[in-house]
Structure 1
Amino acid sequence: QVVRPCTSSERTAVLLKILDFTHNDLQKVLVFTNSVNEAEMVHKALKSNSIISLKIHEGSEFDFKYILEQWTKKYSSGTRVVIVLTDDCMQSLGITDATCVIHFSFPSPRIFGQRLHSMSDNFCNVIKDSSVDQEYTKARSVFLLTEDNACHALGILRYLQHAEAEIPPELYDYSAKTLEAEEDKKLSRPLCAYLKTFGICKNRTVCPDRHQVNLQIDVPQNIPDKITQTPGCVTMLPLHIVNATNYFGRIVDKQKDQYTILAEEINEYFKKPCNKISVKNVEKLAFYGLCEKTLFHRVQVVDISPKEEENLFFNVKIKYIDEGRTSQVQSYQLLHLPARFQCLPPQAVEFVVCRVKPIDNEIEWDPKVTHYINDKIKGKLHEAKIVHTLGNTAWVDPMVGIELLSDLKMSVNEYNVRSEILSTGLGTDNPEHITQLQKL
């Protein structure tokens, strides 16, 4: 792969410079364009500079048979055969022995692969003579990279990465700048879930979420100041298991847990029938009470469907602000929540267990290990060391299940969650996890 950075107006001059070389071997060059007008313009430019070329597109006068006859003729060494064409002619020509493909117009990733196939006969036929510049190996793909190519540059980069091909530094640098510009547009989006879970996002070019810190959003939430200032061990209670390493739950104060006191007061309050007042006008983002079986919870309305607002009863999406899970409920189930029960901030914190990831470079956890961890940890007290915090997320390493021995007024460690994941055979070590996060 060769990249020639240039402006759109310089493309023709750069193309002429690329073709202006002498070579000992036969050179069979395809110049790909995106339109009939562009093909005509390139063909005329080559002709006016004494470079003989053939052209083929929907409106051209030459037929495919004639073009192929000229292409397959026996030529002497040092001869250069050039065809200027549009992408829609590739399949009909069926060329596979080109030695050079020049992308006068930048291709989409799908078209890029088809263009490269035109050189497939020469992919392994690389000149071994070390004295020959690598730029003139048997199969060469040349990009004319302009300011108009941003929409496709990232796709081509991903294509080359997937193919484990060597990436030209110019393409990498250009894509990095484009990616940075795209990231700036996503500052209000949530932090990428894969970045949080594994320290890296494998599909960053298409991922809709952000991959950099936004100080306005990522200020620690629901995490005591003393913990964020001096990360250390906390007692945590996982209540909602997202997957094997990501959970929502609460940080429990073993001395005097404010939420435990509040929960008791809320449940005592709603035990009286006269206090169960259904809400008439449901508002988005407002806090309400909700009865679930025999327990009452604090919830926040996350979304109300505009169409359903006209109905007497309608579904609303809610979030259990002290547990982290979401659900759909009927509007009439929401209860008026007195202001005194809203003073304590939402308690739900997202916890991420560090330094472990799925095997085989998978990006999702196997449901088997998630189910196993769910049964193992949900609703049970754990000791964890917080090693990093961003927003409402705390990364923990280690996270250890504990058993309280009330008679002895002490606790003992039962298991290490990371070790439990590894023991299933479905997880593997991820040593760079926190290091990658700290680079953000």
Structure 2
Amino acid sequence: YCIMCVCVLYYVGVCVLYDVCVYSMMCVCVSVCECYSWPAVARGCDALIISPRADHPLSYLPPLLTNLLLSPPSPSTHSGPIAVILCPGWEKAQTVAEILDELQASHTFHPITVLLGVAKDEAKTVKIPKNCLLLVTTPFSLLRLISCHCFLFLRLSHLILDQADLLYTLAPEQMSSILQHFQKVSSGGGQVLAVSRHWSDHMEGLLTNHMSAPCVVITLPEEAALYAGVHQRTLLALETNRASMLLEGLDLSPEHGQKTLIITNTVEEVEQVFKVVKTTSALCLKAHQASTDLFEASIEQWRKDVGPGTQVILVTTDVCVRALGVRDATCVVHYGFPTSRRLFGRRLFSMAANFRNLLEQETPAPQSLLIISERNARHVPGVLRYLERTPALLPPELLSFAQGVLLAHEQSRAGRPLCIALKSFGLCSRGSSCPDRHQFDPQQDRSLLPSRITLCPKVLPLCVKTASVFCGRILSQSDDGFEKLSVAMATYYSEESADAKELVVGGLYGLKQDQCYHRVRVLCEPQQRGGPFLGVPVCLVDEGREQEVRFHQLRQLPAHLQLLPEQAVEMVVCGVRPTDSEPSWNPEVTRVISQQVRGHQHQARVVFSLGNTVFLDPMVKVRWIPGVKTCINDHDVRRLILDTGKGTSNPEHLALLKDLCQGGGAPPPVQVVPGPDGIGCVRLHPQVRWYETADRVVVTLKLTDPEQQTCDFYPDRVVYSGSVGGRWFRADLALSGTVAPDACSWTLRGRQPVLLLLKEPATRWNQLLTHKNPLVSYDLEHWEEEEEEKEDATHRGMEIPPSKACIPGDTGYIPEDTGLYT
């Protein structure tokens, strides 16, 4: 063990004496964050911990359990837990409970997990054992417990906030009430422990109002910069214009002494920036790996005290920043774009000596200046997510730029299935981290069941995925496709039964189970190879359920049985979602619904359909009374979910789905218009590049070899349509100026459509459209040509036309590289 580990083992190792198996976890070296935080937590001090591992319960449980063992509760007439672990949802609460069980904490602390719904009197019926010292729950459930059993929490002395940033995001009002109650019960003498991967503004109030002399441990420099209040600024510039934008962003006449660090990506950039900055009044230094002889002189000059009104600038690279060990910069300029969060954090840590401490007096906040060009487009969404957590003012151009990149990233998911959360609840809480598709695709999402569905069909759920999503069959009296399929398969395999020879992912095979034959599709490659007893994950395509079978059970499936349509459909119960902002259903709810629904016929009404999915409202189990020509409703599935107390009404569900299909739910917007054959079809909006001269506007549509093109010109509007590779594109451009329709024309240039618009009158346009569109941007390549013409004309003493005096404000360039900031 390292010295730090031995120091921590002194506190944690005591747990072994009390039958808590913490020693087994100490067989690996603890992280730097744990080396600093565990001693404080084990002593019972208030602490705020922000680190990459903070979302794992093992980052705080060992020292917490040590403290609980070494400081047992004093004898009193009250019972109830002395520690409460608050989790953001049922999944995290279940994870904490499992780890406590692995640590054998039940022998001493008798922990229990309480997850309450909104059912009437549910909180009153909860029984907490008298010997329970540790409670795992959520903010919503804890408040319901306190409202009914407030006397059970009179000896509460430890409050642990697991993933504190999410707790404040999901339940800010509940967190405020819980902290106020804890402060009254503990009389300010309890321990508050908050762990998180990210800093949030709510934590500032937590530190100043609810913690006493806390230990703050932050191992992520970019999160430390948020804690320290580093002022973030952004500048948008063309790649060829970064140097001039740099000079505009520098404060060359500061009121106080300033030390500015300009960080580039290459040695060549260091030399270029140094030449530009050297022309200013500031003291400029440089240091890079190609001239190590400058290191000593540069760092000696940098370490000197800076007087009022003085600006010292050091131009260097990321490699040299670490070698120089700079920690006292007052401003960091990211001339070379940081390609990762870790690199961005390292640069910000160069100002660590000037970071603000919330627990001490205010100091001037250091600054970070980020220069963004069109080459950095793939990192913009990640940068934007970080900047949104700061009070920085975000320029509209940056927001438009990021929206265009997100559009392109969403289009890259075109082959993925539609997000199940989107179908189940109308929205997805995972955002950009969700790998599935979040926009409507007319090819994949076109309803496949128009001829097999009546308005009120009978449905038979055979597989329960979640509490509101099932797989099964739609029963039809006139045409029972499943019975015909079963007969055909039984007839075929009674005569022939050839074993599967090879395994193909996505291939259809036959399978015999319980004297019945099924068609199955292989989902993925087995994790292990070899032998007839190899486990193969498959999906029963006529029932919808997934399972693992043995390779020797698979049979060859003839072509005429493969061509028959799949009988299973996906069913979604509309208008219901989990309570307490949970992203998914609690397994208890799914288990209750499965017992009532699976294998039973239901009468349903189809209100919507997407692909192979039908949306039902209502879905009712109908039971006929023998001997009487009447029936009764056993249950309504939606009502069953609500009665569990862990489901709530979701009236916007269907409206959100319809909005998605109409293009408002997720980008890019689509528009249904008549196609060449008169049938309504969807148009995708093409990417558009434009530039202007004194009397005309040239618009290029980024489509290669389009077919069936049409283009109509109006005084203030241009409408173009065409198809590429079977996909239709349509651009309805509402122009910011007026044109002469009769004098306008269009042609193919370089295999792409080019529109020539004659201005009327001939005035400069600040933008092409009346409203910004992320798919429309200025032609940057032509702008470079204009810059050269401008320089030549200046040397010749010619007057520059007003249209070439500045770049238009309608930006939204979308490059082909759409990777995300990681």
The interval holding the TM-score normalised by the smaller chain is: 0.7 to 0.9
In the alignment, structure 1 residue 248 sits paired with structure 2 residue 466? no
Query: 1:111 — aligned with what?
Result: 343
- Deviation of the 1:146 alpha carbon: 1.2
Q: Deviations over 1:88-116 (max 9, x none)?
A: 52697463772x43321222223334444
- Deviation of the 1:123 alpha carbon: 9.3
CA distance in structure 2 between the aligned counterparts of 1:139 and 1:382, rounded to whole angstroms? 65
CA distance in structure 1 between the aligned counterparts of 2:515 and 2:594, rounded to whole angstroms? 23
- Deviation of the 1:404 alpha carbon: 4.1
State how 1:133-282 maps to structure 2 within 5 Å. Answer: 138=365, 140-161=367-388, 167-221=394-448, 223-225=449-451, 227=453, 232-253=455-476, 255-256=477-478, 258-259=480-481, 261-262=483-484, 265=487, 269=491, 274-275=494-495, 277-279=497-499, 281=501
The TM-score with structure 1 as length reference comes to 0.77
The TM-score with structure 2 as length reference comes to 0.44
Q: Deviations over 1:375-407 (max 9, x none)?
A: 232222233333332211223344344444454
Select 1:293's aligned residue among 505, 514, 520.
514
Which structure ranks higher in relative contact order (CA pairs < 8 Å, sequence separation ≥ 6)?
1
In the alignment, structure 1 residue 345 sits paired with structure 2 residue 565? yes
Task: Give secondary structure in 1 for the equivalent of 2:401.
Answer: helix
Identity, in percent, stands at: 37
CA distance in structure 1 between the aligned counterparts of 2:545 and 2:240, rounded to whole angstroms? 55
Aligned pairs, number: 416
State how 1:57-136 maps to structure 2 within 5 Å. Answer: 60=292, 61-63=294-296, 66=300, 69-70=303-304, 73-76=305-308, 78-88=309-319, 89=321, 93=325, 95=327, 98=330, 100-107=331-338, 108-116=340-348, 118=351, 121=355
Query: 1:129 — aligned with what?
Result: none
CA distance in structure 2 between the aligned counterparts of 1:15 and 1:256, rounded to whole angstroms? 74
Please tell me whether the aligned partners of residues 97 and 121 of structure 1 are also in contact (alpha carbons under 8 angstroms).
Answer: no
Q: Deviations over 1:266-322 (max 9, x none)?
A: 58647xx843623454574554432112332233445567996x9778665432111
- Deviation of the 1:238 alpha carbon: 1.8
Amino acid at match of 2:300: Y
Please tell me whether the aligned partners of residues 197 and 245 of structure 1 are also in contact (alpha carbons under 8 angstroms).
Answer: yes
**Cα RMSD (Å):** 3.9
CA distance in structure 1 between the aligned counterparts of 2:240 and 2:311, rounded to whole angstroms? 25
- Deviation of the 1:225 alpha carbon: 3.3
Please tell me whether the aligned partners of residues 256 and 307 of structure 2 are also in contact (alpha carbons under 8 angstroms).
Answer: no
CA distance in structure 2 between the aligned counterparts of 1:2 and 1:346, rounded to whole angstroms? 56
CA 1:171–1:358 in structure 2 vs 1: closer, same or farther (change >3 Å)? farther
Amino acid at match of 2:334: H
Please tell me whether the aligned partners of residues 191 and 211 of structure 1 are also in contact (alpha carbons under 8 angstroms).
Answer: yes
CA distance in structure 2 between the aligned counterparts of 1:292 and 1:321, rounded to whole angstroms? 14
Query: 2:247 — aligned with what?
Result: 16
State how 1:245-394 maps to structure 2 within 5 Å. Answer: 245-253=468-476, 255-256=477-478, 258-259=480-481, 261-262=483-484, 265=487, 269=491, 274-275=494-495, 277-279=497-499, 281=501, 284=504, 287-302=508-523, 316-335=536-555, 344-359=564-579, 361-394=581-614
Amino acid at match of 2:602: H
Amino acid at match of 1:31: I
Please tell me whether the aligned partners of residues 489 and 561 of structure 2 are also in contact (alpha carbons under 8 angstroms).
Answer: no
CA distance in structure 1 between the aligned counterparts of 2:326 and 2:621, rounded to whole angstroms? 63
CA distance in structure 1 between the aligned counterparts of 2:636 and 2:470, rounded to whole angstroms? 15
Amino acid at match of 1:237: L
Amino acid at match of 1:238: P
CA distance in structure 2 between the aligned counterparts of 1:172 and 1:143, rounded to whole angstroms? 15
Please tell me whether the aligned partners of residues 315 and 328 of structure 1 are also in contact (alpha carbons under 8 angstroms).
Answer: yes
CA distance in structure 1 between the aligned counterparts of 2:567 and 2:524, rounded to whole angstroms? 20
Task: Give secondary structure in 1 for the equivalent of 2:303.
Answer: helix
Structure 1: state its 5+ residue gaps: 125-136
CA 1:171–1:400 in structure 2 vs 1: closer, same or farther (change >3 Å)? farther
CA distance in structure 1 between the aligned counterparts of 2:317 and 2:501, rounded to whole angstroms? 61
CA distance in structure 2 between the aligned counterparts of 1:280 and 1:398, rounded to whole angstroms? 43
- Deviation of the 1:46 alpha carbon: 0.7
CA distance in structure 2 between the aligned counterparts of 1:233 and 1:165, rounded to whole angstroms? 54
Task: Give secondary structure in 1 for the equivalent of 2:355.
Answer: helix
CA 1:65–1:239 in structure 2 vs 1: closer, same or farther (change >3 Å)? same
